[in-house]
Chains A and B, each alone.
Chain A
Amino acid sequence: MIKEGVQGAAAVAEEDPQAQSKKAQKKQQKEAEKAAKKAEKQAKLAGDQKTEEEDDFAKDRYGVAAMVQSQEKMDRSLVLVKDLSPARADELIWLRARVHTSRAKGKQCFLVLRQQQFNVQALVAVGDRASKQMVKFAANISKESIVDVEASVRKVDQKIESCSQQDVELHIERIFVISQAEARLPLQLEDAVRPEGEGDEEGRATVNQDTRLDNRVIDLRTTTSQAIFRLQSGVCQLFRDTLNKKGFVEIQTPKIISAASEGGANVFTVSYFKTSAYLAQSPQLYKQMCICADFDKVFCVGPVFRAEDSNTHRHLTEFVGLDIEMAFNYHYHEVIDSITDTMVQIFKGLRDNFQTEIQTVNKQFPSEPFKFLEPTLRLEYKEGLAMLREAGVEMGDEEDLSTPNEKLLGRLVKEKYDTDFYVLDKYPLAVRPFYTMPDPNDPKNSNSYDMFMRGEEILSGAQRIHDAQLLTERAMYHQIDLEKIKAYIDSFRFGAPPHGGGGIGLERVCMLYLGLHNVRQTSMFPRDPKRLTP
């Protein structure tokens, strides 16, 4: 074969022997030179490596630490990233954080270390503390790995704009990997926090909702998610604090129930030994029973289930309900005042204590700050109708508000009163459930109210009928099977104080407060008709 090839080449060469041979010669020469160079290089490299390995003075200053199995209890205090400030300048500290990004540049490697929503720039540079190999090792740590770092805190002259700790950086002296992340991440954190629209312009990626939800653990690490769920925790905390101060008692209600508690919404059926049971779609019945049991003012925080097959931006099949029920003295506006004041306290608490979280979320999802009035604006349903009619909407007196009309009314109210939160009072009796107390002055109206945030309904409540006789009448009027609600009606037979209440959805309140557009963003592990995992 080779011979043939050579012969072939010779045959070709015969045609123009001189030129061809010259070319071939040159080629051969060049190739030989190349090979020699390569070999030389390799040898040199190997030698270098050998020498480097031999004199890697920083060998015990980096590496992958043994898996923490609680072998020893170290007496080492770790500093939090958020506490790093110029006040700690030149201190030698230990800290544990995730590698957010790393960027190697010649003899140094820049890392951004992240702890929750805080991050700081760190630097490994070849010097008397770090060797070349150490820099290389640091540069190769995969993103999202958890590392322990010993470093000295240094002030910087120029603010580091990309980090939350802008005035200091860390000069790493030791670095150990505690938990390594896989090199391929299902989504990049920087993509996940990129504002909508911005990615399209620059040809950069954004992460779609389903990818986020499928990889929720990573998505929750983003600054935006961290801020959202910290704020959500704040809402819960403020809700509890405010109501405790007002003398409310927190109660726990069962979630497996025997009958549908509220008309309208569908319930999930679960098998219950030899029969079936339902998942509670509202703790209302139990709240009311607690009122009848003389707890006076109660609230509960717990999951609520709705088997509604609606795939909208604001419906979930399981969400956290914050429910209030209270006895009042003479007028159900006492209840409205209590609920609205609770909401206002929550809004004020968020405004005053969660400004950084709000700003963080706004960076990715810009929205106008949430505005409210204290005391809360209360309009009557009729007024709402009149405002809508003035704007050209044709609606009957006893018709319920459609979602677009709700939004429009929200805009009109905002235009006039500049508030994102208001109460619409005195709904027509026809559009409310049977247990709603009718208005004594107008049989077509009822003592019921809805509350709105940014034009979306967040709470629906009413004065409940606390008289068994009237309740039976109303149930019959609505053609409800009395047998099925016997237990409910019976709870009012032995004396019941006048009472009212309502409930809000935690996820929806957070979404609307932050001006987000999907309730899945404010639900940690959302459940909707199409999603049951993670």
Chain B
Amino acid sequence: MDKVRIVRHPQRVCLKDILENVYDNYTEIGGQGEYSIDPSMIIARAYITRNVGKKTYKQPVMVIGQEKGHGEEFRNGGSVKPWGNAKALEYMKVAETENIPIHSYIFTPGSYPVEDYPGAAQQIARNIYAMAGIKVPVVAVISEGGSGGAEAIGLADTRIMLSHGYYSVISPEGAAAIEGRSSASRKASGKLVENCARQLKITARDNLEMGYVDRIVQEPPLGARPDHFEFYRKLRQEVILATDEIILSIRGVKLFRAIALRKLNNPKIYVRWSLSTKSKERLVWRRYQKYRGLSRWAFEDSSTGFQRFKNFALETGWSIYSFLRYEFFGRHQRAITHLAEDVQGEVHALMDRVTHRFSSLFKKLPGVKKDREDVCQLTTLSTWEAGMSWNEHCRYVSPQANQDKTLTCPNSRKSNCLDLWAPDLFGDFAGVCSHCGHHFPMEYEWYLFNIFDSRSIREFNAPIEASNPLEFDGLTHKLDKAKKQTGHKSACMTFEAKIKGIQVVVAMLLARFRGGSVGAAEGEKFIRAAEQARRKHMPFLAYVHGTAGIRIQEGTNGLLQMPRCTLSVRRYLESGGLYLVVYDTNSYAGPLASFLGCSPYQFAIRSANIGFAGPGVIRETTGLDIPPNYHKSFQALSRGHIQGIWDRREIRNNLHHALMTMGGEFLYYR
């Protein structure tokens, strides 16, 4: 907690100081002081001069970071509004065009959770998605790294942390507020905050041990202040070194310089910071692998050695199969069918002329009368395949439907809805008021039975188990309870299923398992599902029955799932996949601001609430009271976050329709 106080001290170094002292010259882009679209986000084109031998090189970089200022009110404490993040994204793209590295400095307690356009969650998701594939080296320096605000500019190839900084999923006060279930009126006790801060393992040392930062820059004992010039020199050396290292690790000709850098720690070697096309690809691939490898120890996998071997064998098999089927065979097949179509067209044109002449003659022949009237069965019973393999016998009856009670629709005063009888409402109406269309919450099992074809669900990776990597007090117990209650080992259920015959891979976040929060196990399962979808060439559906955000008790282990999952989603999308997201109930925070929010096709059921932070958190962090329907799906639609709102009764049809239309010619599953 002392660290947190140091970090938040008004006299702590801020980005401006670093720009002045670490870089040799800079131009602030898009704002001075409070005249900026968002004064809490600073973007600057800076350069570092290096004298090597007799030559002087100017090496340009794009510096992006939050500015806390020294107690300046308008800086908003480094809490960046959505449009500030949008600006950051814009200049990351500029850096990509100019082929110069990005240095990002993270000085934020968290993002400002308002949903005004472009929307906190949406913009962060966009940033993370873009950074997942950005083709220039990114070095992040973390002083205060809180939650989504940090991730918005923090998906870096190398992460350096200041020794007195903290990097966490949530500020200790926030964690204490959630843990102690305190409300705005009753603040969490100091002791609890202290406890949370300790348990969340937010310090530089902890994060280095867990592997989430790569290096630590030592600060003076009470933290760096604006006049600690020795510290600036050290920091300068570190960022240059980090950039050099990244560049050299992916460049063809590096041999001696890499060795020299590592062994001698010699800053006097010159490395050009622009990249060739080949190295750009290597850079992105390396970044993917780096994040893919993180936090793999933070969950339990209780599958046996045999199962693992089987899975591995299956995966390899599928890779080979889909390579043959889609890459090798598919390409030729397409060429052949195109050719065949052309030929057929020609033949048709020719035949038409020929048959036309003979047809009159042909018709006069006896016994050629066509007998096709029965095809349409105007008076007899026709066959009716109502949906493919839709089995009446495995209908699901919600436990909510098994009680003799009536429910009053919350809109009854406005729209005069009659009270609804539970068996009707939950058994037949899918939990939707038949009068006004209000959606009552439904449990996830309902969806399993009502969206997917009967008996088509095959779960995989079920043994991956949510655990308590930080040994946070009480979490193990809570997880055990949730596991027992739901019968699942984590809040993410991944399976393959069919929707009217179309095979899809689904990752479902279950609201009943710790609020659908995402930790290391859930992230891993999500990633594996995306990989499976990519391997098998299937559409990938993320069904968010509900998510409360990142599981804060897992600390950075949870937070890291934001970039990790986004990277895998991006990899899937870039290989040509169709990624659909459907939100059902409350969907908030981290997942939304990363791997869910980055999907180009996001839909909501009418019951969904979508946003970055819940109303309580917004009140606590910003002091603003938000209107009661702030997070309703209709609002999210008008803000442009989601692409459509579906009625729950229609969801199966809509999903099928979406899969058919959005797949288009590049249908993965054809």
A binds B: no
Q: Using a CB–CB distance below 8 Å, which chain B residues touch chain A?
A: none
Q: Using a CB–CB distance below 8 Å, which chain A residues touch chain B?
A: none
